[in-house]
Amino acid sequence: MKTIGIIGGGQLGLMIAEQARELGVRTVCLDPAADAPAFNVCDDHIVAAYDDAAALEELCRRSDAVTYEFENVPGDILIPLCGKYNIPQGYKPLYDSQDRLREKSNARDHGLRTPGFEAVDDEASLREAVRRLGLPAVLKTRTLGYDGHGQRVLKTEADIAGALPLLAVPCILEEFVPFDSEASIVMVADGERVVSFPVGRNVHRDGILDLCIVPAEVDSGVLARMKAQSERFMRDCGYRGILAIEYFIKGGEIYFNEMAPRPHNSGHYTIEGATTNQFRELVRYLVGEPLQEPQPVAPTVMKNILGQDLEAAERIAAENLPGVYVHLYGKTESRPKRKMGHITFVGMDAARFEAEWAGRFVK
């Protein structure tokens, strides 16, 4: 029986481990938290920091293949491990996604349209970037930002002063795109073929994904272009394993926003809403099994469950309704805006969700 090592024991590691178990694959997981959700499902685990070189080496020794569910693994530790152990995705997609300037430059260099952007290191370079890109614009830290953290929208010159504390670390200023909608695509590649999941339209609240609606209510020609250019990008970059890309859509234009070389929150709907799911195909890739091309099962809405929604989700789970799949991650501490689970509504569209379900959650 093969064993997959997972760096990171959050909900993504949990769902990787669940799918691995269904495919007869063992998992061992590393996470600094002794109560990490994935530990409840993995066959073995290691409690250690992500930058603990000895612990990471031990994880690799116990595994036939290693993946990561957390993209802020320090590169100076992971790079040498890629040379000694089987880390099939390699380091490159992780490296390319860890710095927003590098990420945007790489996307542009490989033919994807991006918002205008400039590197920013101090007030003078920020003001020059504002002059070049115009306002409104978005100032973001180049590393470690997620779920709306580490960024600030600049609407007028007066907003610059309030944004200066962000410049304690290197930043990037991006042109603000007045998008019609946001969408994402999840792909898995094995070097011979790329399989991609149906594109979802994403609705964010306070910088955190709230809903993913599948199929995305976007012009079919735009969706076809998004699929084709994303798959081409993955091939051209030589990426293998899993990759999610988020886009802004404005009219017929598609703008690359960011990417993640791991399972993606917007892809959770695939567990019940598609014929195979993002976690299962990642496991297939890691153990060398042929990939399966996913197909949609039915229109689907995925609702993220944050701390403030947990009680509502528990009540819905107790109702045990057909087509309503409640996933709670088993985190021991619930906090507002912390991802505690998700609910997948299969056979649901956005209008029906708004009419029948939206009122049950915190606004």
Residues 162, 201, single domain; the answer is no
Residue 50 domain flag: yes
Q: What is the mean pLDDT of residues 208-235?
A: 97
The verdict on whether residue 258 carries a ligand-binding annotation is yes
Is residue 325 annotated as involved in ligand binding? no
Is the pLDDT at 73 greater than 90, yes or no? no
* 173-200 confidence digits (pLDDT tens): 999 999 999 999 999 999 999 999 999 9
Binding residue per annotation — 257?
yes
Helix H or strand E encompassing 196: strand 194-196
Same domain, 190 and 171: no
Q: Is residue 109 part of a domain?
A: no
Q: What is the pLDDT of residues 79-113, one digit of tens each?
A: 999 999 999 999 999 999 999 999 999 999 999 99
Is 256 annotated in some ligand binding site? no
- pLDDT one-digit tens code per residue, 152-171: 999 999 999 999 999 999 99
Work out how many domains the chain is built from and give that number: 3
To the question of whether residue 145 is assigned a binding role by annotation, the answer is yes
| Structure-block tokens of residue 334 | 């619930």
Are 219 and 163 found together in one domain?
A: no
The larger pLDDT score, comparing residue 288 to residue 149, is at: 288
Residues 329 and 200 in one domain: yes
In this model, does residue 131 exceed pLDDT 90?
Answer: yes
100 annotated binding-site participant = yes
In three-state secondary structure terms, 101 is: helix
CA dihedral over 239, 244, 245, 251, signed as positive or negative: positive
Ligand-binding annotation for 45, yes or no, is no
Q: Which of 137, 157, 175 is the last residue of a domain?
A: 175
Residue 312 lies in domain:
181-360
DSSP state of 37: G
* 40/135 same-domain check: no
- Domain end point (choices 66, 87, 108): 87
Task: Tell me: is residue 149 an annotated ligand-binding position.
Answer: yes
Q: Is 204 annotated as a binding residue?
A: yes
Do 216 and 310 touch, CB atoms closer than 8 A? no
Is residue 346 annotated as involved in ligand binding? Answer: no
Ligand-binding site membership of 179 (annotated): no
Say yes or no: 146 and 277 in one domain.
no
CATH assignment of the domain containing 49: 3.40.50.20
Residue-wise over 319-347: b if at least 16 C-beta within 10 A, else e?
eeeeebbbbbbbbeeeeeebbbbbbbbbe
Asked whether residue 69 is marked as a ligand-binding residue, the answer is no
Are 219 and 156 members of one domain? no
Let me know whether 252 and 127 are in one domain. no
One domain, residues 163 and 196: no
Distance separating alpha carbons of residues 193 and 176, to the nearest angstrom: 34
Let me know: does 84 contact 35? Beta carbons within 8 Å: no
- Binding site annotation covers 182? yes
**Does residue 341 form part of some domain?**
yes
For residue 146, pLDDT beyond 70: no
- Residue 320 annotated as binding? no
Q: How far is CA 146 from CA 164, 171, 321, 359, in A?
A: 19, 14, 33, 27
> Do residues 17 and 163 both lie within one domain?
no
Residue 110: inside a domain, yes or no?
Answer: no
Give the global pTM. Answer: 0.96
